[in-house]
Amino acid sequence: MEVKAFEWKNNYLMLLDQRELPEKEVWLELKHYREVAKAIKDMAVRGAPAIGCVAAYGFLLGVRAGEDAESVYHTLQNTRPTAYNLFWALDRMKKAFMKGKDLEEEAKAIEKEDYMANKKMGEIGKELIPKGARILTHCNTGALATAGWGTALGVIRSAHYSGKEIFVWVDETRPYLQGSRLTAWELQKEGIPHKIITDSTAGFLMRKGLVDCVIVGADRITRDYFVANKIGTYSLSVLAKAHGIPFYVVAPKSTFDEKAYGEDSIKIEERSQEEIKNIKGISIAPKESPALHYAFDITPPENITAIITEEGIIKP
Ligand code: MRU
């Protein structure tokens, strides 16, 4: 059964609170654009394409309520700085607003197009996956991170449903545990064989010959193919290269920032150190010790075997 991260209900947005997963399935009813902005910032919804879709509905809610379009746009934009889909979707909504287009139709189109792109990437990407492959993935790039199906996890889904008998190593993905909480939850629901590993297990598994390829998503891709993705992605790319293992990135065109060139052009989100020092309100580090929390890192093109998009495969 395929899960959904959000659902537009004609005049409000239902959002599955991903902070509560996998223990509880709590749905939030968002009626105000500021609630949408807060949900993105606090990571009730996360994953670049899902953030973009939800922000589009947030823009619709704000403008419909008679708020100033420019301030709605800025409030939603100032939530998370790295995921390019957020900026892409808001720009598209703003353009639609200026042209007097139907904003509800535009937001729905953004959602539908993302879903279709994911299905297409699944079809294209599964051809790269050998039968019986043991795939390592990082963070959550599935239905929860998109309008449905998923990017990297979408390729994994498509490979599974085409009878490739794949197996998935799921990086737990510190500190938010998007791998162990969300990816494992999605795989479990669909009966796709997998095992959760700590992030630091990847290298040892590769050395033992237990990983056939690495598949990850992306939050922003520059014109020269530097890829920003969940912290830990770069380390995986270095490990994959050292072990001669293919390293694939799966992302729709809405993740490609044509204005960005070179790794310094990407703003990397830094989040609160408390998110590293506490898990679900329980302290796991001395209160006095400082921590550094980069939410993303950047993988250079030379570490990437291929980038799979809905338009085809790019070899950086
Ligand atoms: O901080 P998050 O959970 O929003 O980070 C998500 C990721 O890094 C994903 O890999 C990326 O957004 C691609 S999701 C299809």
Ligand 1 midpoint to CA 206 (Å): 23
CA atoms within 13 A on the CB side of 275: 15
Is residue 272 within 8 Å of 246, Cβ to Cβ?
no
Distance CA 115, CA 299 (A): 25
Q: E-assigned strands of 37-178?
A: 134-137, 167-171
Ligand 1 midpoint to CA 159 (Å): 21
pLDDT for 1 equals: 60
Q: Which residue's CA is the nearest one to ligand 1's atom 10? A: 217
Distance CA 298, CA 16 (A): 29
pLDDT for 227 equals: 98
Ligand 1 midpoint to CA 216 (Å): 9
Using the atom order of ligand 1, give the atom closest to the CA of residue 146.
Answer: 15
Crossing angle of helices 84-98 and 48-64, rounded to 10°: 30
Q: Is 306 exposed, middle or buried (0-12, 13-18, 19+ CB in 10 A)?
A: middle
Ligand 1 within 6 A of CB of 237: no
Give whole-number Cα distances, 114 to 63, 188, 191, in Å: 23, 24, 24
User: What superfamily would CATH give domain 122-314?
Assistant: Translation initiation factor eif-2b; domain 2 (3.40.50.10470)
Ligand 1 within 6 A of CB of 137: no
What's the CA angle centered on 162, arms 158 and 163, to 5 degrees?
125
Backbone angle region of 146, left / alpha / beta, with phi > 0 → left and psi within -120 to 50 → alpha? beta
pLDDT in tens, the chain (316 residues): 679 999 999 899 999 999 999 999 999 999 999 999 999 999 999 999 999 999 999 999 999 999 999 999 999 999 999 999 999 999 999 999 999 999 999 999 999 999 999 999 999 999 999 999 999 999 999 999 999 999 999 999 999 999 999 999 999 999 999 999 999 999 999 999 999 999 999 999 999 999 999 999 999 999 999 999 999 999 999 999 999 999 999 999 999 999 999 999 999 999 999 999 999 899 999 999 999 999 999 999 999 999 999 999 999 8
Is residue 106 within 8 Å of 51, Cβ to Cβ?
no
Best of 19, 21, 46, 296 for a ligand 1 pocket test (most atoms within 8 Å of beta carbon)? 46
User: What superfamily would CATH give domain 6-117?
Assistant: translation initiation factor eif-2b, domain 1 (1.20.120.420)
Distance CA 109, CA 218 (A): 21
Ligand 1 within 6 A of CB of 53: no
CA 3 to centroid of chain Cα atoms: 15
Ligand 1 within 6 A of CB of 46: yes
Domains 6-117 and 122-314 share a fold: no
Query: Domain limits of the chain?
Result: 6-117, 122-314
How many C-beta atoms surround the C-beta of residue 209 within 10 A? 10
> Is-above-0.95 flag for pTM?
yes
The catalytic residue positions are 219
Long-range contacts of 98-105 (CB under 8 A, 24+ apart): 103/59, 103/60, 103/63, 103/64, 104/60
pLDDT for 77 equals: 98
**Strands 227-230 and 296-299, bridge-based pairing:** antiparallel
CA 254 to centroid of chain Cα atoms: 12
